[in-house]
Amino acid sequence: MAYKITSQCISCNLCESVCPTGAIKVEGSRHWIDSELCTDCVGTIHTVPQCKAGCPTCDGCVKETNDYWESWFAKYNRVVGKLTKKQDYWERWFDCYSQKFSEQIQKHQGEILGV
């Protein structure tokens, strides 16, 4: 698992100067993190990832997940959380939708079988 720099980065260069492993790379004004070098700051004197901790933006530096849906929910929760202040909006929406959908299927199957 590594951190990644997003389009919200304002190129302040802070993360480059604090990264203990030299994982922050800079190409022009574009910053990115070399996942081969990023250790999440584990094994260093730091207790939290320095790039994320020091970034002056809200989501300029975020934890990258390997799981597609985990990443999808994390991204949309951040966006929706900003708009609604409800961090788990999409999980609750999905749970509710799944429950209603399975109720409809069971009802439909019951009608077909005449139960």
CA distance 40 to 52: 10
* Helix/strand/coil for 48: coil
CB of 71 to ligand SF4, least distance (A): 17
Tell me, rounded to whole angstroms, the distance of Cα 101 from its chain centroid.
27
- Cβ distance 17 to 31 under 8 Å? no
- The structure tokens listed for 1 are 């698992």
From 48-56, 64-72, 92-100, 101-109, span contacting ligand SF4 (CB under 6 A):
48-56
Residue nearer to ligand SF4 on the CB measure, 2 or 80: 2
Among 28, 30, 36, 39, binds ligand SF4 (CB under 6 A): 39
CB of 62 to ligand SF4, least distance (A): 9
Q: Using the rule CB under 6 A, is 33 a contact of ligand SF4?
A: yes
Phi, psi values for residue 108, rounded to 5°: -65, -40
- Cβ distance 23 to 37 under 8 Å? yes
Which positions from 57 through 96 interact with ligand SF4, judged by CB under 6 A?
Answer: 57, 60-61
Binding site for ligand SF4 (CB under 6 A): 3, 5, 9-15, 19-21, 23-24, 31, 33, 38-41, 49-51, 54-57, 60-61
